[in-house]
Structure 1
Amino acid sequence: MNTQAQQATSEQTFLTREIWLLLLLSLIWGSSFTLIKVAIPSIPPFTMVAARVTIAAILLILIASAQGHFLPRQRSVWAAFLVQGLLQSALPFTLISWGEMHIASGLAGVLNATPPMFVLALAMFTGRGRRTISGQKIIGVGLGLAGVAMTMRIDARSGIGTAAPLAQAAVLGASLSYALAPIWGQRFSNLPAIVTAAGAMSCAAILMVPAAAALEQPWRLAPTAQAIAAVIALAVVCTALAMVIYFRLIHTLGPLGTTSGSYLRAGFAVALGIALLGERLTWSGLAGMVLIVAGVVAVTAPSRKRNAEKPSI
């Protein structure tokens, strides 16, 4: 009995630590929307992302080496890293950065809170985990979609003739990419989190550096000191540090648990946008955001039936 109590306490402590890490990751990624908004006026999307992932890749490789880890040599693993780097970094970072050229950082953060709904939709479409999909989660998807539709419709009214609707769609595309990334990332469970992060980020850099050079010629740019500082913060904190936490949480909490921090990330993004960038939030826009958050909470929260059947830790 005493052994069981100790085990339960140990499991509770472990879960508490992982939840705190999830909160930290949500804050870090929530601040990334603010930093992108600061950098984007003088550093275009492809160049910003290329610098971000390259700096992060170097840092992650150095950290892995300092911990005594080596990057794998198998071609199959690097092919998987390439897909992970595309889904988790190269594609969503670029879509969000371009999107924030046309919409507020807070709105981008809220629209990017939808990965859990995409995870659930993928589960329904593929049949994987369909038995665990409850009515509560289906209602959550409906609420989230209604919130997205309301938010996009409201913003589109003020952005008629602009790229705002397409920018919103780009951020939602990033959400889909984020939903696919942890599912794909489960195949790296036999590798240390730092090795997976370093390998995937290196592949993201391999993809983005040539693209930035060809499309934006970054050597011709004259970015502000504030923009450069924002990109460095994005690379070191929001990418390198965040990736280490992210891959750890995939191993401990799983894909859906990891993406459940999306609504917290959205809250941080909105709050920081208002506090630091002077962004405004209308009541109608707030209503759409509340629906999105409510939907994500419903999707990620355990159903009552499941809680009744399974004793709490």
Structure 2
Amino acid sequence: MRSFALVALLALLWGGSYPLLKLAVETIPPMTVVAIRSLVGGLFLLALLGPRIRLFADVSSGASLRALSIQSAFNCIIPWILVAHAMREIDAGLASILNSLSPIFIFLITALITRHEAVTARKGVGVVLGLSGVLAIVGLDALENVGTKTVAELACVAGSLSYAIAGVIGVRFAKVTPLVPAAGTTLLAAAVMIPLALLLEHPWNATPSMRSLLAVLASAILSTGLAMVVYFKLLATVGSIAMSSQAYLRIVVGVGLGIAFLGERPTTSMWIGLCLVVAGVVAMTLPSRKPASITRPSP
């Protein structure tokens, strides 16, 4: 039950990032938003880490600069750039479906390549149920325009694949306090994103509104800082496949926010989708009677 709660919390933190980022990019260039988000989020995590910052120097802990750099590339830099550009071209509904492919990628990578955790039939059923629920909630009509914005669609899928790779290799940090990889990967992302934003967007020409600034700060603290801690905690305790189930719950979060704040009314297909998503997440996160150990995949 605790695992399910953490998955739901991660879905809430990451699901809530979409409306926050939507407000942020109203008056702040997208790459600049990502740069601010990663920098502020990283500094927030560094403050939480406090004296334990010395753990960065402990290469034997698994939190080496090389490991953190690889994790940052797949979990932050590559997908954030790809998805940011894709969202300019495709509808939110289609983007939600394409962003929900990570659990499938993780399941296949784990089953066919790394085998770092048990791949059971129940988890496989959970992956299928979850994706079916996403399709029911978002609606099959979101797939009508597939192929019209091929580059953006492929970028979104590539972003999901990048997230999946990060989810698989991220278990190498299982023996380190989650704050270490969370702070390290986020700050490394900032080190890359800040020069890119300065070079490509000239943010000094922007005139950000107060609500855009507040939105990007909230995204940095909640959807980046706190979310990263929960993310690495889940990787260390339940593994890659169970952690990835939050990708399905994010859709539920988005729908819930629409109902709560935008006056949207849930349809029958949404209720059916909600049940399928919850069933899928439970199947993916429910611990086995004999919990299998999670091994660290080779770098």
**Which of 82, 87, 103 does residue 74 from structure 2 map onto?**
87
Q: Does 1:60 align with 2:55?
A: no
Q: Deviations over 1:5-40 (max 9, x none)?
A: xxxxxxxxxxx3343222211111111112122222
Q: Which has the larger radius of gyration?
A: 1
5+ residue gaps in structure 1?
1-15
5+ residue gaps in structure 2?
292-299
Structure 1 residues 256 and 136, CA gap change in structure 2 (3 angstroms): closer
SS of the counterpart of 2:239?
helix
Separation in structure 2 between the aligned mates of residue 19 and residue 227 of structure 1, nearest angstrom? 32
Q: Deviations over 1:74-96 (max 9, x none)?
A: 78811111111121122222333
Separation in structure 2 between the aligned mates of residue 247 and residue 178 of structure 1, nearest angstrom? 13
1:117 to partner: Cα distance: 1.0
Deviates more, 1:32-41 or 1:207-216: 32-41
- The answer on whether the counterparts of 1:273 and 1:279 sit within 8 Å (CA) in structure 2 is yes
User: Could you tell me which residue of structure 1 aligns to residue 115 of structure 2?
Assistant: 128
**Which of 236, 241, 246 does residue 256 from structure 1 map onto?**
241
1:101 to partner: Cα distance: 2.7
Q: Does 1:73 align with 2:57?
A: yes
In structure 2, give the amino acid aligned to 1:242: A
In structure 1, give the amino acid aligned to 2:84: S
RMSD: 3.8
**Which of 167, 175, 179 does residue 164 from structure 2 map onto?**
179
Separation in structure 2 between the aligned mates of residue 37 and residue 168 of structure 1, nearest angstrom? 19
1:60 to partner: Cα distance: 1.1
In structure 2, give the amino acid aligned to 1:265: R
TM-score by length of 1: 0.75
- The answer on whether the counterparts of 1:137 and 1:298 sit within 8 Å (CA) in structure 2 is no
SS of the counterpart of 1:53?
helix
- The answer on whether the counterparts of 1:55 and 1:236 sit within 8 Å (CA) in structure 2 is yes
1:257 to partner: Cα distance: 1.7
Q: Does 1:231 align with 2:216?
A: yes
Separation in structure 2 between the aligned mates of residue 298 and residue 121 of structure 1, nearest angstrom? 19
User: Could you tell me which residue of structure 2 aligns to residue 117 of structure 1?
Assistant: 104
Deviates more, 1:122-131 or 1:178-187: 122-131
User: Could you tell me which residue of structure 1 aligns to residue 250 of structure 2?
Assistant: 265
Deviates more, 1:128-137 or 1:52-61: 128-137
**Which of 79, 95, 99 does residue 108 from structure 1 map onto?**
95
- The answer on whether the counterparts of 1:26 and 1:262 sit within 8 Å (CA) in structure 2 is yes
Separation in structure 1 between the aligned mates of residue 96 and residue 4 of structure 2, nearest angstrom? 20
Deviates more, 1:77-86 or 1:38-47: 38-47
Q: Deviations over 1:235-268 (max 9, x none)?
A: 0111001111111111111111211222211110
In structure 2, give the amino acid aligned to 1:17: R
- The answer on whether the counterparts of 1:123 and 1:129 sit within 8 Å (CA) in structure 2 is yes
SS of the counterpart of 1:97?
helix
Structure 1 residues 281 and 139, CA gap change in structure 2 (3 angstroms): same
SS of the counterpart of 1:43?
coil
- The answer on whether the counterparts of 2:8 and 2:246 sit within 8 Å (CA) in structure 1 is yes
Q: How does 1:134-173 map to 2 (within 5 A)?
A: 134=121, 137=124, 140-141=127-128, 144=131, 154-155=141-142, 157=144, 163=149, 165-173=150-158
TM-score by length of 2: 0.78
Separation in structure 2 between the aligned mates of residue 233 and residue 135 of structure 1, nearest angstrom? 37
Structure 1 residues 158 and 105, CA gap change in structure 2 (3 angstroms): closer
**Which of 175, 193, 199 does residue 214 from structure 1 map onto?**
199
Separation in structure 2 between the aligned mates of residue 39 and residue 97 of structure 1, nearest angstrom? 12
- The answer on whether the counterparts of 1:71 and 1:199 sit within 8 Å (CA) in structure 2 is no
Separation in structure 2 between the aligned mates of residue 166 and residue 299 of structure 1, nearest angstrom? 34
- The answer on whether the counterparts of 1:141 and 1:295 sit within 8 Å (CA) in structure 2 is no
User: Could you tell me which residue of structure 2 aligns to residue 98 of structure 1?
Assistant: 85
Q: Does 1:22 align with 2:10?
A: no
**Which of 300, 304, 307 does residue 284 from structure 2 map onto?**
300
1:288 to partner: Cα distance: 11
1:166 to partner: Cα distance: 3.9
**Which of 32, 48, 54 does residue 33 from structure 2 map onto?**
48
Separation in structure 1 between the aligned mates of residue 282 and residue 151 of structure 2, nearest angstrom? 28
